[in-house]
Amino acid sequence: MKEIREKIEQLLLKTQKPARYIGGEHGSIVKDKSKVDVRFAFCFPDIYDVGMSHLGMKILYGLKNAVPNYWCERAFMPEKDFEALMRENDIPLYALESLDPVRDFDFIGFTLQYELSFTNVLEMLDLAGLPVYARDRKDLTPIVVGGGPCVCNPEPIAPFFDLFILGEGEDVNLELMRLYEKMKPLSPTKEEFLREAAKIEGIYVPQFYDVEYNEDGTVSSITPNVPEAKPKVTKRVIADFDHAYYPDSFVVPFTSIVHDRVVVEVLRGCIRGCRFCQAGFIYRPFREKSIATIAGETKSLCEQTGYEEVSLSSLSTSDHTRITELLTSLSDYTDKENINLSLPSLRIDTMSKEIIDRIAAVRKSGLTFAPEAGTQRLRDVINKNITEDEIMRTCKLAFAEGYQTVKLYFMLGLPDETDEDIAGIAELAQKVVDLYYQTPKEQRGKSIQVSVSASTFVPKPFTPFEFEPQATPEQIKHKQGFLLDNIKSKKIRISYHQMNVSVLEGILARGDRRIADAIYCAWRKGCTLDSWDEHFRFDLWQEAFAECGTDTAFYANRKRKYDEIMPWSHLDYMISREFLIRENKKAHEAKTTRNCSEGCSGCGVKKECGGVYCG
Amino acid sequence: MAEMLLPKNQALRITRYEYRLVFEKKGRARYISHLDLMRAFQRVFKRAGIPLWYTQGFNPHAYLMFPLALSLGIDSSVEPLDIALTEELSFDEVRDRINWQMPEGLRIVSVGKPVMKHTEISSAEYELRLRTDLTPDETADAFRSFVSQDKIEVEKRTKKKGINLVDIKPHIELLSCEAADAETVLMLRLPAGSEFNLNTNVVLDAFEAYFKGRINSVYTTRTKIIAKNGESFT
């Protein structure tokens, strides 16, 4: 579209980091339109810098473009300055490869990574020139699709989407596109297409379900209203993860982005079962790639991108069954090529001296630990099976190697938390500082900085805490103040997440279809880019909830009964309700549950899903 | 651990072979900022397997040197980039290996040995294509009278004194000024290099303040970089 390109080019010089809005990066894929049958606009509902760092997009972009007659392009949320310029100059949301308007595509797919990106979805649909409510989009195309972790409860945004994809997208995305390719020549109506799509495992079409409510506001029933819609939609899992599609090329941005490096996924799922962690449950079972696969992907991506840093991605890299061998094999290659190997997501209880040496050889950066709670009792409640001794043992090793910064992540407002647990956070941080001073001077670094980050706990669906009330804003305020009062050392720095962000996240995470109108209303009032502190307008959100009559405490601060029908009860993430109830009861008794490698706890995931420790 | 503390790259002991590349920056690549361009080239060299010579020290980095920065949004096919390699490669091989890995809009035009020093750069020539809400002839006339003023003062921010007024009139050399179809085409020569540099945007901003009409679009190309001896630098 020559016209859009000319318009954009005149505006780019008036905006910050214009390279974000024009594409043309190394590795971006441009196809001949006349030879393409299905066009997919992969939309990331946040700005380029964030979206380009997202691994899922890289995988699905490569996967779809590997099919010669499918073309997947990228689109991102513009920053406010460029968004204003786009609106002033009638530039619709366009895809970065062709610069064509996304409204002309066959599919528009959003990845829903966090609740605070919901308003960005509405903004991008509107910028595209499309009605935001699915019911107002009568034509077959574009078909608006959603995927990603928030789809485990997509109800608050269900009215804006034509369909959702549950679970891992590698196979199901292509199945959906093939169905469309087959049906397109028959010019089906949107409903005809969606009915066929609903038959595909893992595809959820929200308009095919009627939701009824009890007088107290809870859900009374969720019923399919067409024969094609299954009573329960089950998420998709790639059983043979070692042979799953992985891209051999990445798009390499010009501007610096959040994670500007090669990323190789080493394992999927998590064995740990920390009770607050949604990712730990919805991505089950634990599967891993072989060392040969990981090494091959690392080499080909480093060669294709020219990056000088590679990062291993997973929920807990040190849980790879052959982690030491893996790191040895990888660093033989990266050392030779002058490439940095970075290892986020290491658990301290499995960190051996050998691993610490491996990281230290690259760069003596800081150590980051997530004890999450300040006392052993509360760590048992949340099943974060780390002891204080283990934290101290690792810090001791690290200080002797010259490490100077330690970051400790905690959550406030966990179930059954008392003031004693909060004081425990301060005590633990103090012990780390003391440990540094006990390290011989000739070994330790010049100074010590312990950063304590205290976020607010948000109960999430498909976790044992999905029944729990979130702490009220007043309780959170007290907890934050109490923690601050207990910090004595200048070597300890405290940072909080903005409380209201967590409050909103809590409402949206466990919301039902009735809050869609409040999201719409907040967006109309100007709420977008909510996850950015400088753009977050909680006052407008409060207005929206008030106008729509939403009882926010009903969603955020209410304890659910074990037999309550949740808004997401018709979605099956393979984690059984019985397991979640069992885990919830054990939490309140401060009893831990063994991890998958120690023995199966019967979460409900079937062994056919390929889990290393299943069956 | 002692051996780990040595600089990772030992290439500093190796002979360096210097090259001056001349590259083109066009189309979508116009919007790559100077800092990003540096990074983009480093990745291109890495992908192309170009054996870059690394600087000495504890944080070794590849030797890449742009003698003259190009402002964001300006086209050029005369941009110099100096590099040093640890192996001697033929000019053609350097060019071809790099071009094979270049993103859209960036291309090596020629490769040679650096002849002149960076400090020899004295000026640069630009072609500016303007579209305004007046006719091209009217715009051309306006620009001619703009440059024939006695003084053209612009504000310049300094660290100490805040805002200073600087007369840029003596530095602007108008080589030609013509109406062509719907556009006005200006050829300008402006000082460039490490001693004194005048950006086309500064001239345009001053013109816009003087001009009665409205500038709708500008398309700028750097056409030549000139050395003190009057020859082309690249």
| Nearest neighbour of B47 by CB, restricted to A13, A303, A360 | A303
Nearest CA in chain B to A18: B31
Put simply, whether B186 touches A (Cβ < 8 Å) is no
pLDDT, one tens digit per residue, over A106-115 is 999 999 999 9
Among the CATH numbers 2.102.10.10, 3.90.1720.10, 3.30.460.10, 3.30.750.210, which is that of A238-363?
3.30.750.210
- Joined together, the tokens standing for residue B166 give 């600087």
Please state, in angstroms and rounded to a whole number, the distance separating the CA atoms of residues A96 and A83: 15
The alpha carbon of residue A108 is apart from the nearest alpha carbon of chain B, in Å, by: 24
Domain boundaries, chain B: 2-115, 119-227
Fold of A364-497: Transcription Regulator spoIIAA (3.30.750)
The yes-or-no verdict on residue A358 having pLDDT over 70 is no
pLDDT of residue A364 exceeding 60? no
Chain B partners within 8 Å of A304 (Cβ): 47
| Chain A environment of B8 (Cβ under 8 Å) | 338
A252/A243 Cα distance (integer angstroms): 24
Facing A254 at nearest CB: one of B36, B45, B47: B36
Nearest to A308 among B1, B46, B72 (CB): B46
Nearest Cα neighbor of A489 from A411, A408, A391 is A408
CATH number belonging to domain B2-115: 3.30.70.580
pLDDT in tens, A396-446: 888 887 888 899 999 999 999 999 999 999 999 999 999 999 999 988 888
pLDDT the model gives residue A526: 96
Answer whether residue B11 shows pLDDT above 60.
no
Whether B36 sits inside 8 A of A255 (CB atoms) is: yes
Is residue A371 reached through a cis peptide bond, with omega within 30 degrees of 0 on the bond before it? no
Contact B28 A304 (CB under 8 A): no
Q: Do A19 and B39 touch (CB under 8 A)?
A: no
Nearby residues of A571 by Cβ (< 8 Å), 6 or more positions away: A152, A153, A166, A204, A232, A233, A235
Question: Which of A36-50, A304-318, A324-338, B207-221 has the largest mean confidence?
Answer: A36-50
Among B36, B39, B103, the residue with its CB nearest the CB of A24 is: B103
B103-129 pLDDT, tens digit each:
999 999 999 999 999 999 999 999 999
**Which of A455, A410, A413 has its CA nearest to residue A432?**
A410
Q: Looking at CA atoms only, how far is residue A23 from chain B in angstroms?
A: 7
A158-186 confidence digits (pLDDT tens): 999 999 999 999 999 999 999 999 999 99
Gap between the Cα atoms of A118 and A529, Å rounded? 9
Contacts of B1 in chain A (CB under 8 A): 357, 360
State pLDDT tens for residues A502-543.
999 999 999 999 999 999 999 999 999 999 999 999 999 999
Contact A254 B47 (CB under 8 A): no
pLDDT at A318 over 60: yes
DSSP A561: P
List the one residue out of A277, A361, A378, A291 whose CA is nearest residue A592.
Answer: A378
Question: What number does CATH give the domain B119-227?
Answer: 3.30.70
Name the residue in chain A with its Cα closest to that of B5. A361
CB A251 within 8 A of CB A27: yes
Max avg pLDDT among A275-284, A313-322, B7-16, B191-200: A275-284
Each domain of chain A, given as residue ranges in start order, spans: 2-167+169-234, 238-363, 364-497
Q: Quick one: three-class SS letters along B118-160?
A: HHHEEEEEEEEEEEECCCHHHHHHHHHHHHCCCCCEEEEEECC
Locate the chain B residue with the closest alpha carbon to A357.
Answer: B1
Q: B165: how many CB neighbours lie within 10 A of its CB?
A: 9
**Half-sphere exposure (Cβ direction) of A212: Cα atoms closer than 13 Å:** 6
Question: Do A24 and B27 make contact, defined as CB atoms within 8 angstroms?
Answer: yes
Give the max Cα distance, chain A: 77
**CA-to-CA distance for A432 and A438, rounded, in angstroms?**
10
Check CB contact under 8 Å for B43 and A26. Answer: yes
Reference A62, options A206, A247, A192, A204; nearest CA is: A247
Chain B residues 39-98 within an 8 A CB cutoff of chain A: 39-40, 42-47, 72-73
Give per-residue pLDDT as tens, B161-215.
678 888 999 999 999 999 988 899 999 999 999 888 999 999 999 999 999 999 9
pLDDT > 90: what percent of chain A?
Answer: 84
B72–A254 C-beta distance less than 8 A: no
How many helices (DSSP H) and strands (DSSP E) are in chain B? 4, 10
Range scoring the smallest mean pLDDT among A510-519, B6-15, B147-156, B193-202: B6-15
pTM of the entire structure?
A: 0.93
Chain B CB contacts of A360 below 8 Å: 1, 4
CB contacts, 8 Å: A26 with chain B: 40, 43-44, 47, 101-103
Q: Do domains B2-115 and B119-227 have the same CATH topology?
A: yes
Residues of B in contact with A252 (CB under 8 A): 43, 103
Q: Give A13's contacts in chain B (Cβ within 8 Å).
A: 72-73
Contact residues, chain A, for B31 at CB < 8 Å: 12, 18-19, 21-22, 254
Q: Are A310 and A341 in contact (CB under 8 A)?
A: yes
Q: Phi then psi for A120, rounded to 5 degrees?
A: -65, -30
* ipTM score of complex: 0.85
CB A112 within 8 A of CB A151: yes
The DSSP secondary structure of A235-303, one letter per residue, reads: PB--S-GGGS---S---B-SS--SS-SEEEE-EES-S---TT-SHHHHTPSPEE--HHHHHHHHHHHHH
- Helix/strand/coil for B51: coil
Residues whose CB falls within 8 Å of the CB of residue A186, separated by 6 or more in sequence, listed in order: none
Chain A with chain B: Cβ pairs closer than 8 A: 67
